[in-house]
Structure 1
Amino acid sequence: MSKIDPWLARLSHLLPQHALSRVVHRLARIESPQLQPLLRAFVRRFGLNMDEAAEPDLTTYPSFNALFTRALREDARPLEGDANTLVSPADSRVSAAGRIEGGQIFQAKGHHYTVRELLGGEDELAEAFRHGHFVTLYLSPRHYHRLHMPLTGTLTHMIHVPGRLFSVAPRIVRHVPRLYARNERVVTCFDTPVGPMAMALIGAQNVGSIETVWAGEVTPPHGREISVSEYPDRAVTLERGAEMGRFNLGSSVVLLLPDHPLKLAEHLTPETEVRVRSTLGQFY
């Protein structure tokens, strides 16, 4: 751990987080052929594997946002396991994983936050995960930015919680208490064959937007109130491995699972790289 990390965390409190993110939102959507040298530099800098992309030709991407949210080839991320296999929702790096203890989720050494906080104060929804399981995944700028379903599920709620936009880089997460419960986020809740599942899509510094396949762009928001959308007609059902949303640039996903017998994969240790649709665990 660098000695400068605590100072970077303190500095992040002072930054105009939302203003910077609105600027990034606009810049990332500028379309111009003159961006091509910058796109090529970005690919080199972060080591993007364009051979995996559905469209590997960089000249077909008119903006940074188009490159960030690029689709992959159908065979690039095969779906692992069977219907009871929990798969990764993203190409990402593991931040933390394990049991939820009495409604408390582990963030980093010395830091926890509650399920209730993460879900925007929704007590009834939070109770379902009080003794469940969680997996926190970090997406860096080099990762594939579309999100996919860990299990087959039917949408029940979507919660938009306004908040801060601290960086979710591991060096900052270690020094900002309750970061995931303080940052802006979109929480999507599903009924699955093993019980309720929630995916908290965490906003972050320079994340210009969060989208879902059923609602489109949910952030940047209008207003500062928590909004809850319910789906009583249960019209949205997504299969395990199907696309459910996307980030612009990079952020984190906190996956909440019920108190159902689950064996998490042994490789789910901090800093481990996982690929979308790869095995995170097995329900039994």
Structure 2
Amino acid sequence: MKAALYKLFIELTNGPISSAAIRIFANSNISRLFIKSYAAVYKINLDEMVEDIHSYPNLHSFFTRKLKEEARLIDMSADSVASPVDGVIEDAGNVTANKEIIVKGKTYSISEMLGGTLRAEKYGGGTYIIIYLSPSHYHRIHSPISGKVTDSYSLGRKSFPVNRLGLKFGDSVLAKNFRVITEIDSPKTTVAMVKVGAMFINSVIVTNSKREWEKGEEAAYFSFGSTVVLLFQKGAFVPNDVVKSCGEIRMGDALGRLTGGKGQ
């Protein structure tokens, strides 16, 4: 019953009119009046921002704020995987041989998430990490490893909530929401980074079109809080204790280490 009511409410409110209204407001001059209260409610660290809080023309520009270079330290160990975002490790585990993951009791198809059986094949038996970004987090997305961008594409149309309620009651939100997928190839392995749009706002804005990315380099940003899913090939990644304990993470912090494998 709870799941049915949740789905009904989201379907009724997550339409083109409501989405457009939120987007228009967030980009309007009047939304600027809400920036200080938003920062106070979500306890935003103003000292780490590049710009002064009074310089942002609207809420959208504040959501997508940049940080000072020294605000985040990138773990540059040769075999480390750095968190691409600030957020909370919502879940982590193994991809089944059938290319599925089980999150909050719900089964997600990696084939559906990536848009095809062949695309998902290399991640069977591998590892996944789900990082959730709340409205309080820094919204820019960075490369988790150094390597060559071998593929980048988008899928899906609408976006539903990707918070804990969304994962519990939603309809395969990680595999059906609007999402931008990037595959990065390194000498050790290939990593898929799935940037999943959140409720109302599909917007995942790609800011880096280069074919070679350095670890920690900015790649994109979310217009609102959302989720990143990282997929690793079988035998190619060992998570650290922060991932295993599903703790808070900051962009640049190590998630674990690459061991090579290329799907072995």
Instruction: Select 1:22's aligned residue among 16, 20, 27.
Output: 20
Quick one: which amino acid aligns to residue 110 of structure 2? Answer: V
The question of whether the paired residues in 2 share the 8 Å contact of 1:207 and 1:251 is answered with no
The question of whether the paired residues in 1 share the 8 Å contact of 2:159 and 2:202 is answered with no
Corresponding residue for residue 44 of structure 1? 40
CA displacement, residues 75-115 of structure 1 (integer Å, 9 cap, x when unaligned): 11101240210111100111111211111112212x11111
Identity of aligned residues (%): 28
Root-mean-square deviation (CA, aligned residues, Å) is 2.0
Is it true that 1:275 corresponds to 2:254 in the alignment? Answer: no
Question: Which runs of no fewer than 5 residues in structure 2 stay unpaired?
Answer: 260-264
- Alignment CA distance shift 1:270-1:161 (3 Å): farther
Give the Å deviation of 1:208: 5.0
Which SS does the other structure have where 1:41 is aligned?
A: helix
TM-score when scaled to structure 1? 0.84
Corresponding residue for residue 50 of structure 2? 54
The question of whether the paired residues in 1 share the 8 Å contact of 2:89 and 2:131 is answered with yes
Give the Å deviation of 1:259: 1.5
The question of whether the paired residues in 2 share the 8 Å contact of 1:91 and 1:145 is answered with yes
The question of whether the paired residues in 1 share the 8 Å contact of 2:14 and 2:199 is answered with no
- Between the aligned partners of 2:2 and 2:169, the Cα distance in structure 1 is 11
- Between the aligned partners of 1:179 and 1:208, the Cα distance in structure 2 is 12
The question of whether the paired residues in 2 share the 8 Å contact of 1:120 and 1:159 is answered with no
Instruction: Select 1:86's aligned residue among 81, 84, 88.
Output: 81
Corresponding residue for residue 229 of structure 2? 254
TM-score when scaled to structure 2? 0.90
Give the Å deviation of 1:239: 0.3
Which SS does the other structure have where 2:67 is aligned?
A: coil
Structure number with higher helix proportion: 2
- Alignment CA distance shift 1:35-1:29 (3 Å): closer
Give the Å deviation of 1:62: 0.6
Question: Which runs of no fewer than 5 residues in structure 1 stay unpaired?
Answer: 216-234
- Between the aligned partners of 1:77 and 1:13, the Cα distance in structure 2 is 38
1:68-107 to structure 2, matched below 5 A, reads 68-102=63-97, 103-107=99-103
Instruction: Select 2:185's aligned residue among 183, 188, 191.
Output: 191
- Between the aligned partners of 1:112 and 1:270, the Cα distance in structure 2 is 21
The question of whether the paired residues in 1 share the 8 Å contact of 2:108 and 2:172 is answered with yes
Corresponding residue for residue 213 of structure 2? 238
- Alignment CA distance shift 1:43-1:214 (3 Å): same
